[in-house]
Amino acid sequence: MNNQIIWFENLKRNDIAKVGGKNASLGEMVSTLGPKGIRVPAGFATTADAFRHFIESNTLFDHIGTELDALGAGRITLQEAGRRIREMIVAADWPEDLRSEICAAYQEMADRIGAKNPAVAVRSSATAEDLPDASFAGQQETFLNVRGEAELLAACKRCYASLFTDRAITYRQLQGFDHQQVALSIGVQQMVRSDLGGSGVMFSIDTESGFDKVVLINAAWGLGENVVQGAVSPDEYMVYKPFLEDAALAPIIERSCGAKKIKMVYATGGQQTKNVPTSRAERATFVLSEAEILSLARQAVTIEQHYGQPMDMEWARDGETGDLFIVQARPETVQSRAEASAMKSYTLKSVGPRLLTGLSVGNAVATGQVCMLESPRDIDRFVDGSVLVTSTTDPDWVPIMKRASAIITDHGGRTSHAAIVSRELGLTAIVGTGDATHVLHDEQEVTVSCAEGEEGFVYAGIAEFEVNEIDLGEVPETRTKIMLNMANPAAAARWWRLPADGVGLARMEFVISNTIKVHPLALTRFDEVKDVDARAEIDKLTQGYERKSDYFVDTLAMGLSRIAAVHYPRPVIVRMSDFKTNEYADLLGGRQFEPPEENPMIGFRGASRYYSENYKDGFALECQAIRNLREVKGFTNVVVMIPFCRSPDEADKVLSVMAENGLKRGENGLEVYVMCEIPSNVILAEEFAKRFDGFSIGSNDLTQLTLGVDRDSEKLAHLFRERDSAVQWMISEVIARARKAGSKVGLCGQAPSNDPEFARLLVDAGIDSISVTPDAFQAVKTHVANAEARAVQK
């Protein structure tokens, strides 16, 4: 029998029937994408006919059929059927012609490489796998660092046998594939010395939201199996694809350092690979440099464009040469098929104490009792509908996972096995919690929330929650622009399908308090920080940064870029920090830099801080972050907004300080808005309009200061009304004056969604835009559309 071996360069993606999806894709890249900069390690594939030849020459077809029939009839268990079939295959003899062809190809690879007994990866590639509607992710085996003919032949047999692992049998049953119609090809590929470098997974789409303008990259030290199987919590990087063609930009919009506690390396003494602990330095260091992140992202875009669909790829960096390689590419099978016309929003009503935090998978909420399992062999202990809690998962866990209401793991990132399979099964999951198996216990009632952004939370008890569906096909058109209020960058991509007109309010202070956590002056004046514990924590957070202030700039720019990317090129109005002194004091190292105030709400906040010597160097960091956001990352859609600006004189001072820090209004298209939240902003609207490009009405503070009502006072809550005639006069007046002066004017607040009449007031007054929380978007759109229709009828 001839032609049982085909070299990758002689394969194309339409050769799935010959060599399976994995090998066909590798051949496609080798044969067509090499000139475009995609490097794929050399190799060859055995054909599906070779597999059938192996089975037939050992008369195994009937034996396998007998075992599968017995399984179908319930006479033997899945475990028994799989074990018996695998044992048959491993014990079978190689047909001489096939054995000779495999060995000859291996020797030819050795000649090509110039190495005796080169190390190879031996990968399984089923003929029905990696199709657009069935990923078969990890269903068959891969063997790494295989050397010599004897090891290669043994690994090839084990690949054939892995077509009948328990998980593979189960997966084919779920997908409706006939076991006897699926064959297996083996890919034999030159090993990349990523054991000395790093490796990981990347997607040309956001795996959680389906946002299609980013590349998501996971990375860990050593060989890539730990990332794929979720045995480590990897680094995570996200890159904005549309800006990658501009070599002057570095559009990295997320970079988080994973724990990376172990790495897989080559082994000796009969073992091919082993896991060893990483060093403290490796755990604290990013696996990829900025240049490598951008290079991989560009390769992902090239591959996606070639295949014409979102892709799931594996990459490896050779530790000896530093070269980057793509070792696998297959269609992404979950988000690319997600329903785009409807979105669900989950709102927690009440929750118990927070028990755990990890990476969220699924954008939903689930509840149930914990079922803690150490091994998939414990399947008989699992209670249907329970919350599966375990250290990590691999494909053997799939039969259990499909019976769970939610999944929680100690280890793994967003591209780990647990995350990928949970998405395929439509399950809520939280991965990489660190210690779920220590904190939780069997039969404990918990709520698993993945509806609060990229961080997932496990709460004690069964929480109440609401599910609201937004049908994007029913969102009406409006003249008035409806924008979004955004605080949490991690949640921004959840709403990318909403037809919003941009972001009317992006709250900088959310990133500062939740991600940066350090008072800006504790970074610019670190030598003055007296609190020993705060100093230690700041040192830990800023590890790897030559200057501590760079940590603030980099982290703030990165966080805000997540919001800017989702809405580009539509405007994203970023409000400079609007903490009160008591809130600033709660940041690490902040207490010594903040004066005590009787009434922080009308104290040292907003514009007054920015030009003050008591905060000027902190504001400089905010300005540097905005410059990085606009000029380094490329998000020129970012508009700056100044809060709590009491007078035109203050406006001049703030604009002057901004210019000193490279943010000059009008330069490079920079627009600067002012919050309208103080009566003086209305009274002197014409003067403010000379200095700013637009107004954003902050209805909460404007109501508070117009009526003299503390908005946080329960006793005065009945007096706090945006519909009060005095407040309505203020709003109508500033809209009229702003429009007359040629300035844009919008409102950011919840009132229009709660009160249709308030929306009518704004529309009748001629407001340009209304900015609301995403869950209120459809309601506001409807209220505004109705108000506009009534205005036309009049």
Q: Are 43 and 189 in contact (CB under 8 A)?
A: yes
Both tokens assigned to 343: 């979105």
Both tokens assigned to 733: 């007046």
Helix (H, G, I), strand (E, B) or coil at 391: coil
Comparing 339-343, 668-672, 731-735, the range with the smallest average pLDDT is 339-343
Task: State residue 134's pLDDT score.
Answer: 46
What residues have CB less than 8 Å from 761, skipping those under 6 apart? 728, 731, 732
Cα separation, 109 vs 592, in Å, equals: 67
Task: State residue 350's pLDDT score.
Answer: 86
Average pLDDT for 72-79: 88
Strands across the sheet containing 235-240: 252-256, 235-240, 214-221, 198-203, 311-317, 324-331
Q: Are 18 and 47 in contact (CB under 8 A)?
A: yes
Helix (H, G, I), strand (E, B) or coil at 372: strand
Q: Are 720 and 711 in contact (CB under 8 A)?
A: yes
The conformation of residue 278, written as its DSSP 8-state character, comes to P
Residue (of 583, 603, 571, 452) closest to 506 by Cα position: 571
More confident residue, 608 or 426: 608
Residue (of 758, 749, 762) closest to 724 by Cα position: 758
Give the distance, in angstroms, between the CA of residue 411 and the centroid of all CA atoms in the same chain.
16
Does residue 195 surpass a pLDDT of 70?
yes
Task: Output the CA angle 10-13-17, nearest 5 degrees.
Answer: 90
Helix (H, G, I), strand (E, B) or coil at 113: helix
Average pLDDT for 196-225: 95
Quick one: pLDDT band at residue 135, thresholds 50, 70, 90? very low
Cis peptide before 569 (omega within 30 of 0): yes
**Complete DSSP assignment for 506-534:** EEHHHHIIIII-B-HHHHHTGGG---HHH
Comparing 39-43, 51-55, 358-362, 617-621, the range with the smallest average pLDDT is 358-362
Phi-psi region of 184 (alpha: psi -120 to 50; beta: other; left: phi over 0): beta
According to DSSP, the residues that pair with 6 across neighbouring strands are 45
Cα separation, 52 vs 641, in Å, equals: 68
Q: Are 237 and 288 in contact (CB under 8 A)?
A: yes
Task: State residue 570's pLDDT score.
Answer: 98
Residue (of 416, 509, 31) closest to 219 by Cα position: 416
Q: Are 684 and 648 in contact (CB under 8 A)?
A: yes
State in Å, rounded, how far the first CA of the chain is from the last one. 85
The number of beta carbons lying within 10 Å of the beta carbon of residue 714 is 7
Does residue 205 surpass a pLDDT of 60?
yes
Quick one: pLDDT band at residue 228, thresholds 50, 70, 90? confident
Average pLDDT for 283-307: 97
Residue (of 499, 496, 505) closest to 746 by Cα position: 505
Does residue 351 surpass a pLDDT of 50?
yes
Both tokens assigned to 588: 């690490």
According to DSSP, the residues that pair with 731 across neighbouring strands are none
Distances (CA, A) of 172 to 71, 175, 180, 789: 14, 5, 11, 55
% of the chain residues with pLDDT over 70: 96
Cα separation, 552 vs 587, in Å, equals: 13
Cα separation, 233 vs 431, in Å, equals: 9
Provide φ and ψ at 110, rounded to 5°. -60, -40
Cα separation, 415 vs 457, in Å, equals: 19
Task: State residue 326's pLDDT score.
Answer: 97
Task: State residue 488's pLDDT score.
Answer: 86
Q: Which amino acid is at 619?
A: F
Q: Are 165 and 146 in contact (CB under 8 A)?
A: no
87-117 pLDDT per residue, tens: 999 999 999 999 999 999 999 999 999 989 9
**Complete DSSP assignment for 166-207:** HHHHHHHHHHT--GGG--EEEEEEEPP-TTSSEEEEEESS-T
Radius of gyration of the chain (CA): 30
Quick one: pLDDT band at residue 417, thresholds 50, 70, 90? confident
The conformation of residue 164, written as its DSSP 8-state character, comes to G
What's the burial of 43, exposed, middle or buried (CB within 10 Å: 0-12/13-18/19+)? Answer: buried
Q: pTM, whole model, 2 decimals?
A: 0.87
The conformation of residue 134, written as its DSSP 8-state character, comes to B
Which residues belong to the active site? 417, 748
More confident residue, 310 or 229: 310
Helix (H, G, I), strand (E, B) or coil at 462: coil
Both tokens assigned to 162: 């892995």
